Amino acid sequence: MRFTFVKCHGSGNDFPLIDARAIVLGDAEWAQVARALSDRKGDVGGDGILLLTASDDRHVFGMRMFNPDGSEAETCLNGLRCTARLGFEVTGTEAGQVRLKQSAAQARVVAPIAPGVATIETKVGPVSLTPHDVGLTVGEGPFVEAAIPGLPSDRAFTAVAMPNPHLVAFVDAVDDGELVRLGDWCEGAPALIPTRANVSFVELREEGHAPALFVRTYERGVGLTNSCGSAMAASTLAAARTGRIGWGVETRVFNRGGMVRAKAEVGDVVTIAGNATFEWDGEVEVDPVSGALGPLRILGRREDEVAAWEAMLAGL
């Protein structure tokens, strides 16, 4: 089956994005497509695949996201920005509610975060801090900067469902080795959190008189990643919940992939504005049953967008 797609990224979180509104495949077949296209050893590679899906009575369009291991994520906020951009382009709109796997989010086109950088703002929430919603099998009340019984870490975590599950800890300095060990443990689907979880270590940094966050994430179904949009959102909420930043205050949130503008609002709603960069367009044959991948054909490159993003990074 031939797929045309846009290779895109949000804060360095990169994906092949497919307009799937007229494509009929089962979940198992999409999982095979995701494994094939996301494989970093192949010609495409990515942190998963994004699907633009059809509209309905309440949503301008929908999004699905499959991880490199074939699992489907409840949401992906970096991917949502890219999918929303494509959705707005093909529908001729600039704002609307987007259907996700288990929830919905508001998205709209906003002023660029840097010259030439296409920017989308998303708003999600109210999110949940109920342990059951995060996937934890312990706890009656929310874990907000608290030890989680049974977790092999002495750190204090805030547990947030975005609705995908996040465990967020604030640290003086990120230790990748420690983060990977804990992420690997969660990835094993332990009894404490059988649906697994995204784990983030967050540094609070001062920029002049304004606080900023640096987020490093072990992403469920992916591993250690340069960027995870829902982790940046969860970290922003955790920072507000613990008094590190103010409610309703726009904060710059950094990761290895780039930067977004974020704010947590009273009522546990999080808004993020960040890039939705299209790098190149391609097409490729994928067998949805076996996952066999054919040769890649590049249809065009978006060199101006790539240059604008690189210029922004150089200025950070």
Mean pLDDT of 245-253: 94
End-to-end CA distance of the chain: 42
264, with CB counted inside 10 A (0-12, 13-18, 19+), is buried
Counting every residue, how long is the chain?
A: 316
In this structure, what token pair is assigned to residue 165?
A: 């599950």
* pTM score above 0.85: yes
Find all residues with CB under 8 Å of 112, minimum gap 6, and list them: 118, 119
In this structure, what token pair is assigned to residue 10?
A: 């949000």
Lowest mean pLDDT among 8-12, 18-22, 171-175, 222-226: 222-226
Find all residues with CB under 8 Å of 223, minimum gap 6, and list them: 180, 183, 187
pLDDT at position 316 is 80
Give tens-digit pLDDT for 79-98: 999 999 999 999 999 999 99
Residue type at position 180: V
Q: One of 8, 76, 82, 186 is an active-site residue; which one?
A: 76
- What percentage of the chain carries pLDDT values higher than 70? 99
205, β-bridge pairs: 212
Give tens-digit pLDDT for 194-244: 999 999 999 999 766 688 999 999 999 889 988 898 999 999 999 999 999
On whether the CB atoms of residues 131 and 159 are closer than 8 A, the answer is yes
**Domains in the chain with CATH codes:** 2-122+276-314 (3.10.310.10), 131-274 (3.10.310.10)
Give tens-digit pLDDT for 91-147: 999 999 999 998 899 999 999 999 999 999 999 888 999 999 999 999 989 999 999
On whether the CB atoms of residues 128 and 160 are closer than 8 A, the answer is yes
Residue type at position 220: R
- 76 included as an active-site residue: yes
Mean pLDDT of 1-10: 97
Give tens-digit pLDDT for 22-52: 999 999 999 999 999 999 999 999 999 999 9
